[in-house]
Chains A and B, each alone.
Chain A
Amino acid sequence: MGTRFEIVAEGDDQTNLRAACEAALAEIEEWDARLTLFRPSSFLCYINTHAAARPVQLDDDLFELFAESLAVHHASQGAFDITLAPLMRAWGFHKQTGAVPRDIDSRGCISAGASDDTSRSSPASSGDLPRGMSDLELDADRRTIRFRREGMALDLGGIAKGHALDLAASILRESGVRCALLHGGTSTVIGINADRTGLGEDHWPVGLGVEQPGITIKLRDAAMSVSAPHGRTIEMDGTRRGHIIDPRAGAPVRRTRLAVVIAPSARLADAWSTALIVLGQRPPDMPDSLTTLIARETEDAMDWRVEGAEPELFSLKPLCGIVESEEEYD
């Protein structure tokens, strides 16, 4: 997953605590090896190679991961999509340096055959790149996955980190760890019971970082994911655009600066924060139980919106701009 994972854990039995953290990190490494696009031995590459020809058998964990991806896709009106690998490749986001594809149309869509392969000399053929969750077939009875179109490929960049963290957190809990904070790349975090942290709080206070000074999130037995389009960026139409693609437009997202989701699972938080960066607002079908913060650029200010079941989890004191939520912030 190309990022650093860390665990902070507290407890009396230091020996078991260390062993538990090692086991949790080993679980993350195992899922990284299974879900990466950058190692041909990964099971994800196996699916991408074979699923157009025949259904590929999944295990329970993977089936649940894909089923949840599909559910978030539908609830987010298509804003979350795990079939974007061909598009990500075409935009160059599978390399360190992105580039606007040469075969991009007025909607930002790319023609089939477009790629970041600079050695390609023949002109691109017409037609869309093979992608779309509607062409992804999950068979719940047989526990299989199949692509309905040749050339489709999955990219789990918007959900894999959360999935691995959830399983790592399960290992910590099963091993008797009662108090821990674990994160992947600082953007997806799980807080397990904060009673014993010595912080005098019943939650883990998680700051949003240098770009959003003063925003603190209270995390307790919940997961949080932050999505922002910065990081790998490309220059387009005179502006920098980030690495998150709007599946509906086929191009990187524009206006949303930040989306934070607090959810019962990191997998759900991860997927929904990606979807909200694309949408810029909560869709009607988003579960009420998820709490969100969305920061969006307007013409003259930044629009900050907190919504969901527990808006009090956010502390937004020094914010400039507009804050709209059910609760009042001072």
Chain B
Amino acid sequence: MTDCDRRSFLARAGGAVALGFLPEFATAAPRPQDGPLPVAVIGVGRQGRSILGELQKMEDTATVVAICDSDDRRLRSGARRAPGAEAFGDHRAMLEKRRDVEAVFIATPTHLHRDIAVDALEAGRHVYCEAPLASTIDDCRAIVAAARNAPGLCQPGLQGRSDPVYKLAWSFYRADAIRSLVFMRGQYHRKTSWRTPTSDPARDRFLNWRLDPEVSIGLAGEFGTHQFDVFHWFADRYPIAVSGHGDIRLYHDGRKVPDTIDCNLTFSDGAHLQYNATLANSFERQHEVLCGSNGAMKLAWTHGWMFKEADAPTQGWEVYANRQQFHKDEGITLIADATKLAAQGKLKEGVGLPHDPLYYSISDFFNSIVKNEPVVCSVEEGLRATAVGILANLAIVSGEDVVIDERMLKGT
């Protein structure tokens, strides 16, 4: 930008000079489909590269014209995944220079989301912000406030709401397929140190932010947030209290952030959600279970099953359903487009998702932009799920029960 351009830009920006960005969309009118949407990815570590990988398969819909990372090595490695994209070390410089960018994907460390999301929204960009939304409830509220005042859309990366298996399960749940909710259970099990390697001690704190107690919201915040949102969405309710416990069971490497946690979330009607996460064992990976008086649902991101109680009424469709045995339980496989596939004799081919759940989440985001429709998961829901994750982590770290006041889950 020349000095002259810069002056006129700042003059137009008026009250937004402090941030230096001018909203480019006076109104969020439906976007004419006159070519791929120019987008930027901010934060090109492993999650950012996953986003780049999915965008690579959407070249008719979007083109990555810019990438940004404050870490030089990551930026260089990200640039190899985004040919032709301009590389930036600072998101403000990128937003200022690349005025053609219509949407940004934020995949930086969680505690850095707030400034980037607020700046991008105030600059009129559509924002896809990875979940958890931020590392404090105040930061979440700042993003929600910016989103409410911005012409662009803001979608938190809570992928369950876009996942075809989960959408199908949700429709069954809402059709009373498992009847009265008895209890809920969720887990995230993985065998990994959660540590990013580096030969440069100066980069260690930046890269290993998840293990830094000053900014990390732990397993409950980083992983639980995604899964708590699934329970919020299905059960249409939010917890009112949480208690928890955390420990270091395997990685005695000086870390303070627990590698194993469990917590109990209580809902207003007395229902409970038991959640545990560990980095020390991967058995049964990541899933959510909703148990009702007529049956249970087990959701595992790319796969889903429904288990019926013997006294539950028979529904017609399940006669033709694909089934899978789990010890003494028989699961009815939840398959998106099952009726169509069954008619073609290809029901088994529909087991499992053809794409990663991230693909569907990004697709929904683009659909909302093109059609000017609300995002599939609102930023307010992002706040609620993140706040529950943050408060669960607080209960785990402090060892004290935490009451979740309804006001904590609302924007200002």
A positions within 8 Å CB-CB of B: 15-16, 18-20, 22-23, 26, 30, 33-34, 39-41, 43, 46, 56-61, 63, 143, 171, 174-176
Contact = CB atoms under 8 A, between A and B. Distances in A.
Nearest to B191: A22
A143 B197 contact: no
Contacts of B197: 16, 19-20, 22-23, 171, 175-176
Contacts of A41: 57, 353-356, 359
Contacts of B282: none
Given A22-B193, A41-B354, A41-B359, A59 B56 contact: yes
Interface string B354-372: 1110010000000000000
B35 interface: no
A176 B199 CA distance: 5
Interface of B: 46, 49-50, 52-53, 56-57, 59, 73, 79-84, 192-193, 195-199, 253-254, 353-356, 359
B81 A59 contact: yes
A58 B83 CA distance: 8
A178 to B, nearest CB: 10
Contact of B193 (A19, A174, A175): A19
A15 B83 contact: no
29 contacts: A15-B193, A15-B253, A16-B198, A16-B199, A18-B193, A19-B193, A20-B197, A22-B197, A23-B196, A23-B197, A30-B50, A41-B353, A41-B354, A41-B355, A41-B356, A43-B53, A43-B57, A58-B83, A59-B83, A60-B79, A60-B80, A60-B81, A60-B83, A61-B80, A61-B81, A143-B83, A174-B199, A176-B198, A176-B199
Contacts of B193: 15, 18-19, 22
Contacts of A26: 46
A70 B306 CA distance: 49
Contacts of B49: 30
Given A22-B195, A59-B81, A175-B197, 18 more contacts: A15-B193, A16-B198, A19-B196, A19-B197, A22-B192, A26-B46, A30-B53, A34-B53, A39-B354, A41-B57, A41-B356, A56-B59, A59-B52, A59-B82, A61-B80, A143-B84, A174-B199, A175-B199
Nearest to B253: A15
A57 B274 CA distance: 45
A43 B275 CA distance: 35
A175 B195 CA distance: 12
A174 B73 contact: yes
Contacts of B196: 19, 23
Contacts of A18: 193, 195
Instruction: In the A-B complex, list the 9 residue pairs whose CB atoms are closest, starting with the nearest.
Output: A176-B199, A175-B197, A20-B197, A19-B197, A19-B195, A60-B80, A41-B355, A40-B354, A15-B253
Contacts of A40: 354-355
Give the residue among A20, A34, A41 with the most B Cβ atoms within 10 A.
A41
A43 B56 contact: yes
A171 B199 CA distance: 11
Contacts of B82: 59
A22 B59 CA distance: 31
A193 to B, nearest CB: 14
A57 B83 CA distance: 8
Nearest to A26: B46
A4 B345 CA distance: 34
A190 to B, nearest CB: 17
A93 B53 CA distance: 28
Nearest to B208: A19
A30 B253 CA distance: 27
Contacts of B83: 57-60, 63, 143
Contact of A57 (B46, B50, B59): B59
Given A41-B355, A57-B83, A15 B57 contact: no
Contacts of B198: 16, 175-176
Contacts of B81: 59-61
A40 B355 CA distance: 7
Contacts of B46: 26, 30
Nearest to A41: B355
Contacts of B57: 41, 43, 46
Nearest to B358: A41
A87 to B, nearest CB: 24
B56 A57 contact: yes
Nearest to B359: A41
A164 to B, nearest CB: 14
A143 B59 CA distance: 14
Nearest to B254: A15
A244 B52 CA distance: 34
B257 to A, nearest CB: 14
A59 B80 contact: yes
A221 B80 CA distance: 24
B56 to A, nearest CB: 6
Nearest to A175: B197
A58 B82 CA distance: 9
B73 to A, nearest CB: 7
A23 to B, nearest CB: 5
A19 B199 CA distance: 11
A91 to B, nearest CB: 22
B65 to A, nearest CB: 13
A294 B73 CA distance: 41
Contacts of A20: 197
B195 A15 contact: yes
A33 to B, nearest CB: 8
Nearest to B79: A60
Nearest to B78: A59
Nearest to B73: A174
Nearest to A59: B81
Contacts of B84: 143
A23 B192 CA distance: 10
B99 to A, nearest CB: 23
A112 B21 CA distance: 59
A217 B327 CA distance: 47
Contacts of B195: 15-16, 18-19, 22
Contacts of B254: 15
B300 to A, nearest CB: 16
Nearest to B352: A39
A69 B57 CA distance: 22
A37 to B, nearest CB: 14
A26 B52 CA distance: 16
Contacts of B192: 22
A46 B82 CA distance: 17
Contacts of B353: 41
Nearest to A39: B354
